[in-house]
Structure 1
C-alpha cells in the first residue's frame, strides 16, 4: 500500500469510527452520569432553549453522517478529493459530538464552560468542512452526502452554540427569567440570524440543509412558549434566514446545488 492510500485508509477509518462514536455517545454519557443530556439541559434552561422535539434533528444528522462515513470508506471512494478535503474536519466534528455527549451529562451544570468550549470546537470543525465544500467541482452523490450532512450539522450547532452559552450563563448564576434575560435572548437570536444569513448569502452548495437546521431550531424556540418578545425575535430570525435563502434561489442558476449539494 502506498503512502497516499494508507493515509486515505486511516482518514476513512477515523471518519467511520467517529460517526459511530457520536451515535453511541449519548447513551454512554447517560449511563456514566446517571442522568441524560435532557435532564441537565432542563436544569439550566434558558429562554432560547428550543422545545424538546427540536433535538430530534440529531436523528437525520447521525443517520446521514453514518451513511456518508460508510460510503467514503469504500475502497473506490477513499481517494476522492471531496472526501480528502472534508474527511478530517468532519471526523473532528463527529468525535467532538461524542465527547460532548459524555461531558455534558457529567459536568454541564457544574463546569458549564467546558461543554461550551467543546461545542465551539465542533462549530469550527463543521465550518471548516463547509468552507472546503463550497469550492468543490463535484456533483451527485460524492458531494451530496457530505454536503447535506455538513449543512445540517453546521446549521444546528450554530444555534446550539448560542443556546449552550445561554445555558452556561444560567448554570453560573445568571437570571433565567426577567428583563435582562429577555434582552440577552433577543441579542443571541439576532446573532444567530446574522450569522445564518451571512452563510446563506455566501454559500455555493448545501445552503438548503444549513438554513433548514437553523430555522428548525429558531421556530422551536418560538414554539417553546417563552416571553412574547423572545418568541417574536425567534420568528423574525427564522423569516430572515428563510427569506435570504429564497432570494438566493430565485436569482441563481444551478439551484439544485445551492439547495442541496
Structure 2
C-alpha cells in the first residue's frame, strides 16, 4: 500500500470513528455532551459557556469533514500537495474530536481540556499548511479551507469554554473574581483571533466561526444564566475585533496585490 493510499484510508477510518463519537455526543448512543460530566459543559454552567444554538455549527463542520473525506479520494486530489499536507492531520483532528466526546462521557473534564488543546494545535497546523499551499478552485476553498477554518475558529472558543468548565468542577473562586477572569479569557480569545488573521491571511472562515462562538457567549450572558452584562459586553467586543482583524488583513492583502498589478 503506497503512502497516498494509506493516507486516504487513515482519513476514512478516522471519519468513521468521528461519526461514532458524534453519535455519542448527540445522545443517540450515549449521553448528550451538555448532560455529561455532571452538566459541567452545559450552556448555563459557566460565564464562558456559549448559548445552546451556538453548537449548531458542529453540523456544518461535520458535513465539511464528510465532504473532505470524499474530496481526498478524488483521483485529482490523491497525489495533490494539499491532500498530502492536510490528510494525516485531518484524520488526527477527527480522532481527537471523537476522543474529546468519549472522555466527557466518562466525566473526565480535565482530560478533555488536554484533548481539546491538542485538537486546536492540530487544526492550527492544518490551516497553516493550507495557507502555504493556495486553494485551486471554488470546491477546494469551500471543502478544505472552509471546513478547517470553521473548525479552528470554533474550537478556539470551545477551548476557552472547556477550561472554564473544568475550573468549575474544581470549585469556583469568589463570585466577584469570576467575571474578571472570564473577561481576561475573552480578551485572550480576541488576541488569538488577531494572531490567526495575521498568520493565516485573514481567513474569514476562522474569524466567522470564532465570532459565532463569542457572540453566543454574549447572548447567553446578557439573556440567560449565569448573567453578566460585563462579560456579555466584552464578548461582543471580542467578536467584533476578530472579524475586524480578518477584514483589515484581507483588505491590506488586496491592496498590495492591486499595487503590484
Q: TM-score, normalised by structure 2?
A: 0.87
After TM superposition, give the deviation of residue 254 of structure 1 in Å. Answer: 8.8
Cα RMSD (Å) of the superposition?
A: 2.0
Unaligned residue ranges in structure 1 (runs of 5+): 256-261
Cα pair 1:19 1:62 within 8 Å, conserved: no
Count of residues in correspondence between the two structures: 245
Q: Which residue number in structure 1 is paired with residue 259 of structure 2?
A: none
After TM superposition, give the deviation of residue 181 of structure 1 in Å. Answer: 1.0
Alignment partner for residue 209 of structure 2, among 208, 213, 223? Answer: 213
Matched residue of 1:53: which SS? helix
Matches within 5 A, 1:143-154: 143-154=141-152
Matched residue of 1:204: which SS? coil
Matches within 5 A, 1:33-48: 35-40=31-36, 43-44=39-40, 45-48=45-48
Distance in 2 (alpha carbons) for counterparts of 1:74 and 1:58: 25
After TM superposition, give the deviation of residue 143 of structure 1 in Å. Answer: 4.7
Distance in 1 (alpha carbons) for counterparts of 2:73 and 2:255: 29
2:231 is equivalent to residue 230 of structure 1: yes
Distance in 2 (alpha carbons) for counterparts of 1:96 and 1:185: 26
Matched residue of 2:210: which SS? helix
Matched residue of 2:106: which SS? helix
1:207-233 CA-to-partner distances (Å, cap 9, x unmatched) read 110001000000000000330110011
Q: Could you say if the C-alpha distance between residues 95 and 160 of structure 1 is closer, same or farther in structure 2, counting changes exceeding 3 Å?
A: same
Q: TM-score, normalised by structure 1?
A: 0.87
Alignment partner for residue 194 of structure 1, among 181, 191, 197? Answer: 191
Q: Which residue number in structure 2 is paired with residue 259 of structure 1?
A: none
Unaligned residue ranges in structure 2 (runs of 5+): 222-226, 257-261
